[in-house]
């Protein structure tokens, strides 16, 4: 266990590096752009909590199972045991297909599962390359952006009666009036309460008679505002898409990923963290040429 002094040093290092990374990015906008951003500043900025200030960790990740909803037409997550433990006190599920293991890999002594899934399955990250030709892949995104203040904007009441509602600039303005300016280099998450639909078969994808899904998402103008005027690292949703699910132009994806930011879809437990004050840690995928992938997302309170 780290001492308070060590934790303080880690926190200061993260905050310093994040500020430096942010300044390098802002330099690209030029002096005129910075002046325009400064003119839009609100009287106060919402404060991000120090890393693990209370010692509470909230898991924002859904458990990935073969039953977890996927985008219509995508294959489900699948898992197959290819090696099991044998002997006293071990777990053995019976016969195992050893053909795929090869002669140097016995089917006993170690338990091994084969996983099959598309990158954008479960709680997962969207890298710019997911939508933007030539965009950055997940393994080359700045690691400093995966530890960030997390802002939660709650539109659950509206989403309960309007499945196609979107998080708007007006919602962000209302949030700032209540909580202060959105911190720079934050992850901004939409809480629509959509995960309650996981208990109802078909409720999460919410297909209409024509097979079109309906679920809330970000309005593209809101994403443009967050990128240009609040310098966020990315956006997150508790649904299957950054856009409202019936979108045809995928404007939120384009606005977010086109600006070199990342998105996180199918977040869990957003109602368990405060609107501001928590720090998010994104365990992003790091396989070569990753357009995204399942990730473990934690909120530190």
Question: When comparing pLDDT for 47 and 94, which is higher?
Answer: 47
Calpha distance 6→4 (Å, rounded): 6
Same domain, 129 and 163: yes
Given this model, what pLDDT does residue 288 score?
Answer: 98
101 and 247 together in one domain:
no
Is 115's pLDDT higher than 60?
yes
> Whole-angstrom Cα distance, residue 281 to residue 4?
19
Q: Are residues 175 and 215 in the same domain?
A: yes
pLDDT digits (tens, 9 = 90+) for 133-176: 999 999 999 999 999 999 999 999 999 999 999 999 999 999 99
- Same domain (yes/no): 87, 200: no
Q: Residue 86, class by beta-carbon neighbours within 10 Å (0-12 exposed, 13-18 middle, 19+ buried)?
A: middle
Specify the 3-state DSSP secondary structure of 167.
Answer: strand
- Residues 192, 82, single domain; the answer is no
The predicted structure's pLDDT at residue 166:
98
Q: Which H or E run includes 232?
A: none
Q: Clarify whether residues 134 and 202 are in a common domain.
A: yes
Q: Are residues 110 and 129 part of one domain?
A: no
The last residue of a domain, from among 59, 90, 116? 116
Q: pTM for the whole thing?
A: 0.79
88 and 104 inside one domain? yes
Which among 220, 217, 216, 292 has a CA at the least distance from the CA of 255? Answer: 220
Whether 54 has a pLDDT exceeding 50, the answer reads yes
pLDDT greater at residue 132 or residue 42: 132
Range of the structural domain that residue 82 is part of: 78-116
- Percent of the chain at pLDDT above 90? 73
Q: Read off the pLDDT of residues 3-28 as tens digits, 9 standing for 90 and up.
A: 444 344 444 544 554 454 444 433 43
- Together in a domain, 92 and 228: no
Q: Indicate the number of domains in the chain.
A: 2
How far apart are alpha carbons 55 and 193 in whole angstroms? 25
What confidence tens digit (pLDDT) does each residue in 249-258 have?
Answer: 999 999 999 9
Residues 88 and 208 in one domain: no
What was the pLDDT predicted at 279?
A: 98
Q: Give the pLDDT confidence of 207-253 residue by residue, as tens digits.
A: 999 999 999 999 999 999 999 999 999 999 999 999 999 999 999 99
* Whole-number pLDDT of residue 29: 36
d(CA 154, CA 251): 21
State the greatest distance between any 2 C-alpha atoms of the chain, in Å, as a whole number.
71
Same domain membership, residue 232 and residue 197: yes
CA distances from residue 29 to 26, 36, 201, 227, 233 in whole angstroms, order as listed: 5, 10, 47, 12, 16
> Are 148 and 175 in a shared domain?
yes
3 state SS of 212: coil
**CATH number for the domain harbouring residue 32:** 3.50.30.50
Q: What is the pLDDT of residues 119-135, one digit of tens each?
A: 999 999 999 999 999 99
Q: What is the pLDDT of residue 130?
A: 98
Q: What is the pLDDT of residue 12?
A: 53
Q: How confident is the model at residue 268 (pLDDT cuts 50, 70, 90)?
A: very high
Q: State how far the Cα of 218 lies from the Cα of 252, in Å rounded to an integer.
A: 6
Q: What is the mean pLDDT of the chain?
A: 84
């Amino acid at each position: 266990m780290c001492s308070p002094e060590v934790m303080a040093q880690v926190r200061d290092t993260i905050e310093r590096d994040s500020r430096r990374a942010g300044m390098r990015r802002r330099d690209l906008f030029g002096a005129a752009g910075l002046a325009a951003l400064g003119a839009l500043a609100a009287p106060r900025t919402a404060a991000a909590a120090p890393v693990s200030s209370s010692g509470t960790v909230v898991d924002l990740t859904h458990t990935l199972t073969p039953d977890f909803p996927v985008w219509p037409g995508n294959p489900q997550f699948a898992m197959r045991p290819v090696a099991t433990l044998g002997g006293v006190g071990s777990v053995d599920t019976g016969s195992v297909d050893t053909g795929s293991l090869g002669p140097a890999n016995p089917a006993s002594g170690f338990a091994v599962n084969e996983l099959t899934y598309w990158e954008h399955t479960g709680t997962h990250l969207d890298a710019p390359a997911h939508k933007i030709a030539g965009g950055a892949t997940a393994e080359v995104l700045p690691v400093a952006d995966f530890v960030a203040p997390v802002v939660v904007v709650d539109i659950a009441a509206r989403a309960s009666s309007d499945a196609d509602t979107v998080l708007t600039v007006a919602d962000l303005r209302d949030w700032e009036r209540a909580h202060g300016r959105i911190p720079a280099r934050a992850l901004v998450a939409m809480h629509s309460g959509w995960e309650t639909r996981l208990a109802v078969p078909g409720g999460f994808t919410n297909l209409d008679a024509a097979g079109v899904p309906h679920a809330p998402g970000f309005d593209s103008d809101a994403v443009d505002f967050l990128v240009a005027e609040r310098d966020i690292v990315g956006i997150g949703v508790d649904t299957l898409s950054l856009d409202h699910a019936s979108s045809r132009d995928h404007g939120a994806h384009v606005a977010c990923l086109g600006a070199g930011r990342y998105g996180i879809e199918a977040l869990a437990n957003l109602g368990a963290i405060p609107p501001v004050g928590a720090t998010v840690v994104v365990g992003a995928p790091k396989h070569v040429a990753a357009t995204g992938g399942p990730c473990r997302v934690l909120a530190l309170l």
